[in-house]
Amino acid sequence: MYADAIVLAGHVETFDETRPAGPPADAVAVADGRVVAVGGTEALGHLRGPGTVVHAFPGATVMPGLVDVHAHPVWGSIEAGCGVSLSGAVTLDDVCARLAGAAEGRPPGAWITGFDLDVNVFDGEPSGAVFAERLPGRPVSLMTQDAHALVVSPRVVELVGLTGRETFHDASSVEVGPDGRPTGHVVELQAMQLVLDHYPDVPVDTAAGYVLAQLDRFARSGLTGLHALDFTDPSEAVYRHIEDRGELPLRIRCSPLVPADSAPETWQAVAGLQGRGGRRWHVEGAKFMLDGTADNGTAWFEQPDVHGQNRAPLWRDLDAYRAAMRFFAERGIPTATHAIGDQAVRFALDVIEEAGPVARAPHRIEHIESLPDDLLHRFAELDVVASLQPVHGTRHTRADATDNWSRRIGPDRAARGWRTRDLLDHGAVVALGSDWPIGPGDPRIALADCQLRRPVEEPGTAPVQPGQAICAREAYAGMTTAAAHAAGASDRLGRIAPGCLADLTVFAANPMDLAPEAQPGNTVLATVVGGAVRLHANHPAEDVNDAEGTL
């Protein structure tokens, strides 16, 4: 049997602990979308036939394809495509200047939407009143950095008909001021949906264009897969639209949201989606939102924060959460629970233990922003994946605790934030993600940040909880072997070994040999998904497919 393709490089980092000791590998042979052999160039020579395509990357390093285990590619791409990026806007004047620029040339009644709003720009509680002064009559809606709140202008309050007296199944709220009128601060998903339903419609082909462009950017940064922790409209239509006209640049595993305090009919609908998919996307798993975010006061901690908030779950009926978890576990459907506060993490672990494991993939807990010592060991004991996004800690908090998150929850709990090192030391599987668009989508940035515990591009910034730093191999394992384990796919993903899917990332330099500061600049020469090689810009790949060539 001849290989369909052979990838040659200076080195192959297999991440395969079962591979026998021997000479370093520098070649990977692929057939039918899977790895058939890994080894030295000469040793794989017998696999090269007349139809074998050889891709040579002299001096480069081939690794298992990187997988971001927590992202939101569809709504994030649409939000970014239609809205104003507020990333890096550190004052309210900065925010208003960007919005004013976006308003130029648009009709007076056109919506202005934005994302990545830093709540620290407000002097006190967020309020949309300023937009009535700076952009009079404009509908303005800005999503906060954590994507769990909107700050909207008075015109939006008027258009949507917000009163502050709305009631919700979960802990959502429309905040009001001393006068009892809405301030424009709309907190958590069900309340936000009242506003989002009024956003201008985006045609499927336009949305698909936004999504495909973003997925291409992900691929160019080294990703061969991601876990989409949602599956709402128009996700399916977008994925099918792209695949009807071409190919997704990477694999996508979608886990639909089970809304807080939802009924069994909703659970059954989510269960019915399992297995739906296309060539490179599929639905697997269910996501729960047990609490909200500390910045909004909607996370669930054992003790309240300095404002008396952050002390309750989003699921008001905890027995319903327990029943929903059992419903999915009994059907063999793995779950992922968003749990930020210490009490939310504790309760999620308790309920997962009660529900029991499923064969398809382990249960997961997402975010885990503040974790007490007595819970560290339970992840490994229960085989619960700790799904972390360290970029939230490096980019939304500050070492001097002047940020909103640290101020609200206090120094003791802030000191227990994003415990990547401690979880690994206690035997947990720690899978890493970005929560894009809430965090940077380039995995090289996240992988550098979790080694430095600060933004990689800010050498003068003090690290946040530096004792939680991890090394390069541990970081890259979080997006390879750990990501595969989190998907129940360790037999076919996360390492380079015979029988595994040929999902590979080709770097110009070996990330294991680079300082963290050099990681973002490590050029991705190619990504390979199921044996299909996608060459990226400025690659130095050599054409060695001439008839006379030899391995």
Q: What is the pLDDT of residues 381-434, one digit of tens each?
A: 999 999 999 899 999 899 999 998 999 999 999 999 999 999 999 999 999 999
CA–CA separation, 507 and 498 (whole Å): 21
CA–CA separation, 85 and 241 (whole Å): 26
Q: Which domains does the chain have, with CATH numbers?
A: 5-65+499-543 (2.30.40.10), 68-72+202-486 (3.20.20.140), 78-196 (3.10.310.70)
Q: Which residue has the tokens 């202005």?
A: 112
Question: Which segments of the chain have a pLDDT < 50?
Answer: 539-551
User: What are the structure tokens assigned to 24, written together?
Assistant: 């370093």
> Which strands, in side-by-side order, build the sheet including 223-228?
66-71, 223-228, 251-254, 281-283
Closest residue by Cα to residue 131 from 154, 106, 162, 102: 154
- Decide: residue 198, CB within 10 A, 0-12 exposed, 13-18 middle, 19+ buried: middle
SS3 content of the chain, % helix, strand, coil (to 5): 30, 20, 45
Task: Report whether 280 contacts 529 (CB < 8 A).
Answer: yes
Tell me, what's the pLDDT at 120? Answer: 87
Tell me, what's the pLDDT at 540? Answer: 43
* Stated length of the chain: 551
Tell me, what's the pLDDT at 541? Answer: 40
Distance from the first to the final alpha carbon of the chain: 16
- Residues 6 or more apart in contact with residue 43 via CB below 8 angstroms: 27, 37
- Residues 6 or more apart in contact with residue 505 via CB below 8 angstroms: 62, 63, 64, 65, 66, 222, 223, 224, 524, 526, 527, 528
Return the number of other C-beta atoms located less than 10 Å from residue 324's C-beta: 27
pLDDT tens digit string along 93-131?
999 999 999 999 899 899 999 999 998 899 888 999 999
Task: Report whether 3 contacts 27 (CB < 8 A).
Answer: no
Tell me, what's the pLDDT at 431? Answer: 98
Closest residue by Cα to residue 182 from 216, 151, 218: 151
3-state secondary structure of 206: helix
Tell me, what's the pLDDT at 538? Answer: 55
